[in-house]
Amino acid sequence: MSLQSSTPEALRVVNLLQERNLLPPGTVPAPTPCLPQDIQKVNCNPEVFRCTLTSIPQTQSLLNKAKLPMGLLLHPFKDLSQLPVVTSSTIVRCRSCRTYINPFVSFLDQRRWKCNLCYRINDVPEEFMYNPVSRSYGEPHKRPEVQNATIEFIAPSEYMLRPPQPAVYLFVLDVSHNAVETGYLNVFCQSLLDNISALPGDSRTKIGFITFDSTIHFYNLQEGLSQPQMLIVSDIEDVFLPTPDSLLVNLNECKELVEDLLKSLPHLFEKTMETQSALGSALQAAFKLLSPTGGRMSVFQTHLPNLGVGALQSREDPNQRASAKDIQHLSPATDFYKKLALDCSGQQVAVDLFLLSARYCDLASLGCISRYSAGSVYYYPSYHHQHNPAQVERFQKDLKRYLIRKIGFEAVMRIRCTKGLSIHTFHGNLFVRSTDLLSLPNVNPDAGFAVQMSIEENLDDMQVVSFQAALLYTSSKGERRIRVHTLCLPVVNSMSDIFSGADVQAITGLLACMAVDRSMAASLSDARDAMTNAAIDSLSSYRQSVLTIQQPGLLAPACLRLFPLYILALLKQKAFRTGTSTRLDDRVFAMYQLKYQPLAYTMLMIHPALYRVDDLTDEGALNINERTIPQPRVLQLSVEKLSREGAFLMDAGTVMYLWIGRNCNPNFLTHVLGVPNYAAVPENLYLLPELDTVESQRTKAFIGWLRDQRPFFPSLHVIRDESQLKASFMQNMIEDRTESALSYYEFLLHLQQQISK
Amino acid sequence: MILLTIIARIADGLPLAASVQEDEQSGRDLQQYQSQAKQLCRKLNAQSPARCILEAGDMYFHCLIAEDVCYLSLCEASFPKKMAFAYLEDLHTEFHYLYGKKVSTVTRPYSFIEFDTYIQKKKKTYVDNRTRRNLGSINTELQDVQKIMVANIEEVLQRGEALSALDTKASNLSTLSKKYRSDAKYLNTRSMYAKVAAVAVCFITLIIYVRFWWL
């Protein structure tokens, strides 16, 4: 099936060596699969479910020839503005493969339907014939399950192994001297006090606290006590729970005691001189407390655990940070944390880790506790309440989002695909319980997953294939629900069609996940070579198989024109770069983020967006909620695009930099920053002042709009030429040459040389 | 101890509330009983007796049916019947007061799962009364164990004596048999000498006979 006529733009030949302006003015849009209009209309939203190739090759040999990775990237629990919810006594599923009925099944007649994943013919149950929405009978294809690709079912009792668990939150806090120094405890307690009524849950919600330094402290919060009681367990080799209940208490009934505890906690440890940290034992104690019910454990750690089980050594050699050769110590030092994470996963406990540390903390080992228990890792390097207020603000906002965001408990996810395709590798914070059952003790709206696929049998006689991701979870109110997403894509058998359907951002995201796995399993240089080879192989395959006229230069189809740029960006990313001084924890955290974040934020992390903001106009602006939001053009990441007379905003996902040129427009300085001249711009400015000028409104509207699009809070840094953060800003200038890496043009030449070998 | 409590609607077996004993050890074994309980809820109907006890292995299901709702609890065999039914009556009064009117209208399973907090509290009061008695019985059991242990030690000591007697006997046997061996050897050599002497005498007689006969 040739789709070439319908997508001429995607296959337009681009000579990368000659064309310089490759970036679109706004964000790069996701490619639309080449399907008939009525099918594409109901297809799954690409922000939720996306494939690296929007036209699936018919055979494995064809896929191998194209040298592009095939996989799916999903964001199954994303906060959706519109989500149809169906309560039905029977959920219609295929008899053999157990696929949920979806918009892409075919109805043979009124009474029978054909599954689009295994092609089995099933009967339509009697209840399904009645459509409650339109109150009509005899039109099963009008029911909401068949009209929406993303839908949520309320699960009947067969989908529950045990009664739905309540929301259980346990906070494990480091209270050693180092921790109290950073001052995080104040921020945490205040945040929790402010948001305690907004914690997702119902009247069964339970809460508990454990603090630790060289001993473990539990808090008896039983209803009826006049104040919280602290119980200290110093036997860290063999931890036990001091009392059987009242360590995890019902939030509604014991709210005053909990609030008392939060108010007094920072003062309890003000004078502490303990420098040791028994994190492993504290985690074991917390696991004992949570294992009967399951729930969420939030661990706050400020330095290397050095006592008891799970004690870690400082493995980083500061002299090796800028090594041009291999980076060591990317894999865990001990499997204590992984084992504990797997035990937690079995008891439906997820562990989230907040690392607030100035020195090396061996995140490569500690991170395992979250990776295998479907938790998330938050990292605030050099957190200090006085020296680093930008981090404090970021911690506060992140904590607020973390406490009040939607959460699902005791969840499992299964991804099914049409007969002939199979899934073999899973990326993300999860545990693969059996061949395709993913165990997620907690599911949150900020987690993304990726899978790699292969073609087991040739997809002959098939026009389309489908993929379905089903997430079964317990909501915080004790309801068991199933969220189902279904994606449909066409099958093609010509190389040009495969290339025209390539989704360059999804390919980059999947390659980043694969490269992280390769760095941890083999070595970093292996991973770097593999990424470069991915670019070389795919472009040379394009040249040989698709191009009819051989022209000189480095040719790529328009849909893949950004591919070498993204590969270069990955090579210069903190996770994979060599030759530039990178702290080991920063590097490991960048790797975790590449695997954990949904695609949209990963792409911002890999290739930040650069805008000129000193000359914002209302031309082409968006009008949202009666606010005009200017839309400046995205610029290339090169110093060439910076100008001394301007101010530029770089949006890198979790952080934003506002760079002020030396001869910046004084209008901008006075009206937006509130300073008379360049020299008066303060050193560590991270908040734009509230001024009443038009320019200030425009700038704030634009920055606010960027921030609203994502659930976490990017911190803003205003930097001048002499600022310490200038180095981080300049490191994101991907197209430029540095001492240890090629410029974009040189990289293209290198690719061309390798291709024509 | 009350391990499991389920409250379900009689009409279609829809579970309305439940509570599982939160304990590291017992939680895992209850899987099988939970599925049995679910099936029970479906099988019971308005014609079933208002109160009954169902045996399941070494546990008992106590069942109370009232106002279209059935209250099931799983207890150990030793838990007194009266107490179990008093507990279920208590649950019934409170549940009916809070949710009685809404029972027939809900469709979602575990719609009243928030009743769990009340069930947990009730469970604790019913267990506490037994605890004192349990402690007493545990004490007597400990004494029994002590006695048995003492008895066993005595047996062991006696066995020890028997063993030492056996030991001495065995060593006696060993020395005696050694002596027997040396005696036997001595006798063997003596008989050998005797044989040799006999043969020598015969031989000499023969030679003398031959000498005197032939010469």
The CA distance from A200 to A409, in Å, is 11
For B2-161, the fitting CATH number among 3.40.50.880, 1.10.8.60, 3.40.50.720, 3.30.450.50 is: 3.30.450.50
The CA distance from A624 to A680, in Å, is 34
Which residue in the set A204, A291, A292 is minimally distant from B117, CB to CB?
A: A204
Cβ A297 vs Cβ A352: under 8 Å: yes
Question: Would residue A750 count as lying in a domain?
Answer: yes
Question: Would residue A247 count as lying in a domain?
Answer: yes
- Residue A584 belongs to domain with CATH number: 1.20.120.730
Instruction: Find the residue in A nearest to B106 (Cα).
Output: A87
Which residue in the set B27, B31, B117 is minimally distant from A203, CB to CB?
A: B117
Q: State the pLDDT at residue A3.
A: 44
Interface membership of A288 toward B (CB under 8 Å): yes
Average pLDDT estimate for A699-705 = 87
Q: State the pLDDT at residue B22.
A: 65
Same domain, A304 and A173: yes
Same domain, A751 and A634: no
Same domain, A203 and A289: yes
Which residue in the set A288, A291, A478 is minimally distant from B110, CB to CB?
A: A478
- Residue A701 belongs to domain with CATH number: 3.40.20.10
Average pLDDT estimate for A419-436 = 91
Q: Closest Cα partner for A375 from A331, A426, A431?
A: A431
Domain range for A669 is: 608-732
Cβ A128 vs Cβ A90: under 8 Å: yes
By percentage, how much of chain B surpasses pLDDT 70?
Answer: 89
For residue range B58-90, what is the model confidence (pLDDT) as tens digits?
888 899 998 889 999 988 888 888 888 889 999
pLDDT above 90 for A602: yes
Instruction: State the total domains in chain A.
Output: 4
What ipTM was predicted for this assembly?
Answer: 0.79
On the CB side of B84, how many CA atoms lie within 13 Å of its CA?
Answer: 26
For residue range A508-525, what is the model confidence (pLDDT) as tens digits?
999 999 999 999 999 999
Q: Which residues of A are less than 8 Å from B20 in CB distance?
A: 162-163
Average pLDDT estimate for A107-123 = 90
Instruction: Find the residue in A nearest to B16 (Cα).
Output: A163
Measured between CA atoms, how close is B57 to chain A, in angstroms?
Answer: 21
Average pLDDT estimate for A336-363 = 93
How many Cβ contacts (< 8 angstroms) between chains A and B? 53
Question: Would residue A460 count as lying in a domain?
Answer: no
**Residues of chain A numbered 181-220 and touching chain B (CB < 8 Å):** 202-204
Measured between CA atoms, how close is B23 to chain A, in angstroms?
Answer: 6
Q: Which residues of B are less than 8 Å from A155 in CB distance?
A: 109
Interaxial angle between packed helices A504-521 and A524-545, expressed in degrees from 0 to 180 and rounded to the nearest 10: 140
Report residue A344's pLDDT band, with 50, 70 and 90 as the boundaries. Answer: very high
Same domain, A601 and A665: no
Q: State the pLDDT at residue B26.
A: 59
Lookup: tokens for A723: 């600022």
The pTM score is 0.86
Question: Would residue A59 count as lying in a domain?
Answer: no
Same domain, A3 and A117: no
Same domain, A222 and A336: yes
Buried b (16+ CB within 10 A) or exposed e, A341-369: beebbebbbbbbbbbbbbebbbbbbbbbb
Same domain, A268 and A279: yes
Cβ A441 vs Cβ A344: under 8 Å: yes
Secondary structure (DSSP) of A293-323? T-EEEEEEE-S---SSTT-------GGGTT-
- Residue A122 belongs to domain with CATH number: 2.30.30.380
Q: Strand pairing partners for A492?
A: A57
For residue range A209-268, what is the model confidence (pLDDT) as tens digits?
999 999 999 999 988 888 899 999 998 898 999 988 889 999 999 999 999 999 999 999
Close Cβ partners of A498 (under 8 Å, ≥ 6 residues apart): A53, A55, A57, A62, A63, A66, A68, A492
Q: State the pLDDT at residue B150.
A: 67
Cβ A201 vs Cβ A207: under 8 Å: no
Measured between CA atoms, how close is B109 to chain A, in angstroms?
Answer: 6
For residue range B48-60, what is the model confidence (pLDDT) as tens digits?
888 888 888 888 8
Q: Which residues of B are less than 8 Å from A164 in CB distance?
A: 110, 113
Q: Do A89 and B107 lie within an 8 Å CB cutoff? A: yes
Q: Do B114 and A293 lie within an 8 Å CB cutoff? A: no
The CA distance from A48 to A73, in Å, is 8
Interface membership of A318 toward B (CB under 8 Å): no
Of A381, A405, A429, the residue that ends a domain is A405
Same domain, A247 and A140: no
Q: State the pLDDT at residue A679.
A: 82
Kind and range of the H or E element at B134?
helix B116-214
Chain A contact probe: residue of B21, B23, B74, B108 with most A CBs at under 10 A:
B108
Interface membership of B114 toward A (CB under 8 Å): yes
Which residue in the set B24, B31, B110 is minimally distant from A164, CB to CB?
A: B110
pLDDT above 50 for A40: yes
Q: State the pLDDT at residue A5.
A: 42
Interface membership of B5 toward A (CB under 8 Å): no
Instruction: Find the residue in B nearest to A481 (Cα).
Output: B108
Segments making up each domain of chain B, as ranges: 2-161, 162-215
Same domain, A309 and A394: yes
Question: Would residue A101 count as lying in a domain?
Answer: yes
| Strand A349-355 to A377-379 pairing | parallel
Interface membership of B29 toward A (CB under 8 Å): no
Report residue A4's pLDDT band, with 50, 70 and 90 as the boundaries. Answer: very low
Same domain, A234 and A279: yes
Interface membership of A315 toward B (CB under 8 Å): no
Q: Which residue has the tokens 């013919």?
A: A121
Cβ A382 vs Cβ A391: under 8 Å: yes
Same domain, A705 and A636: yes
